[in-house]
Amino acid sequence: MTDASKSCACPAPTPASNGGFWRSGGWLLAALPAWIALYLILHPAADWLAFRVFGLAPGSRLGEAVAFFVYDAPKVLMLLGAVVLGVSFVQTFLSPERTRDLLAKRTGAWSNLLAALLGIATPFCSCSAVPLFIGFVRVGVPLGATFSFLVSAPMVNEVALFLLLGLFGWKIALLYTATGVTVAFLSGWVLGNLRLERHLEPWVLTVPFEPSRGAEVSAGFSARLELALQATKEIVGKVWPYILVGIAVGAFLHGYAPAELLARFMGKSAWWSVPLAVLIGVPLYANAAGIIPIVQVLLAKGAALGTALAFMMAVTGLSLPETVILRKVLKPRLLAVFLGIVAAGIVLVGFLFNLVM
């Protein structure tokens, strides 16, 4: 057991019980129109609250900061709730066991690409990283594909994709996802070709392992929906304080900081900002939902897109707790090579974006 396992930010969904129409999804019919209506009036309502109720002057520093916060905080939380609910529902159809079986008989670069893509949607918790790693390797998933999955799963998850979509538009969401998959694909492919099997801890290949059946939910629509609702409560319940702090910092900067504050040291002209952002981001551990409001601020205040995305990938894709966990299955040299290759891939992506955008 490691201390690292305690910091795992994964939901603990619980299967459903039986219930009437309301519990079996009827609430969704009422909640959906209410959600849409609320979302549509959010901007005018926030302005009304800030400038009329609080009596702040539009254009003043305090007024703009408060208006930003009362608009952005409910918006991000509403988006997050809706996204996590939808995603958790889809994830009741997926499991690491199913992903493992899909990957078991693949070889070559194709296995890395498939692993990187499956990592987007497969439910994954970093506290399961060790048994998952062994489960993959022992049923014949190539080592490189296993790494591709381990990089992609936390970094390019669906929550990140849809939050980016809601806050920055489809271009950045697509760019982040595509480059995240590319980093996972390439780093796994390189690692696979380095033939590093002998740098696995010996027990990985010798411990008795007989895969048991998958853990899919065998239930109907309403049970899956309740599972998804449970997961949503847990995830949103866990990340909302981080999001509010992120937005509050953002609101303060929005009102008080000059627009080009970060341009000098996180702008395109500062080439060293990309490796620095990755260096700062790697030891940090946060999930995508917590880091996105901060990325929003960085971008708004003049940080270059590549630098901001590289920072986000480094925070979500690699972390100190995960490194401690992976040390159980990887010898130090392989662990270092793994971290080095993924970090290098992220730095490359950052440079590339700053170059072309």
Rank residues 70 and 229 by Cβ distance to other proteins and give the closer one: 229
Q: Which residues contact 355 (CB under 8 A, 6 or more apart)?
A: 306
Which of 75, 38, 68, 74 has its CA nearest to residue 51? 68
Rank residues 136 and 168 by Cβ distance to other proteins and give the closer one: 136
3-state helix, strand, coil in the chain (%, to 5): 75, 0, 25
Rank residues 209 and 240 by Cβ distance to other proteins and give the closer one: 209
Q: Which residues bind other proteins (CB under 8 A)?
A: 1-2, 5-6, 8, 10, 12-17, 95-97, 100, 123, 125, 127-128, 130-132, 134-136, 203, 207-213, 215, 217, 227, 328
Residue 109 token pair: 């670069």
Rank residues 25 and 255 by Cβ distance to other proteins and give the closer one: 25
Q: Do residues 292 and 161 lie in contact, with contact meaning Cβ atoms separated by under 8 Å?
A: no
The minimum distance between CB 29 and other proteins, in angstroms, equals 25
Distances (CA, A) of 328 to 202, 334, 340: 10, 12, 18
Which burial class, exposed, middle or buried, applies to 95 when counting CB atoms under 10 A from its CB (0-12, 13-18, 19+)? Answer: middle
Rounded Cα–Cα distance for residues 26 and 193 (Å): 52
Rank residues 150 and 183 by Cβ distance to other proteins and give the closer one: 150
Which of 164, 160, 181 has its CA nearest to residue 173? 164
Q: Do residues 99 and 72 lie in contact, with contact meaning Cβ atoms separated by under 8 Å?
A: no
The minimum distance between CB 32 and other proteins, in angstroms, equals 26
The minimum distance between CB 247 and other proteins, in angstroms, equals 26
The minimum distance between CB 86 and other proteins, in angstroms, equals 18
Rounded Cα–Cα distance for residues 87 and 83 (Å): 6
The minimum distance between CB 237 and other proteins, in angstroms, equals 12
Distances (CA, A) of 5 to 143, 234, 325: 23, 18, 7
Rank residues 8 and 49 by Cβ distance to other proteins and give the closer one: 8
The minimum distance between CB 132 and other proteins, in angstroms, equals 5
Rank residues 59 and 218 by Cβ distance to other proteins and give the closer one: 218
The minimum distance between CB 10 and other proteins, in angstroms, equals 7
Tokens 């080095």, residue?
A: 340
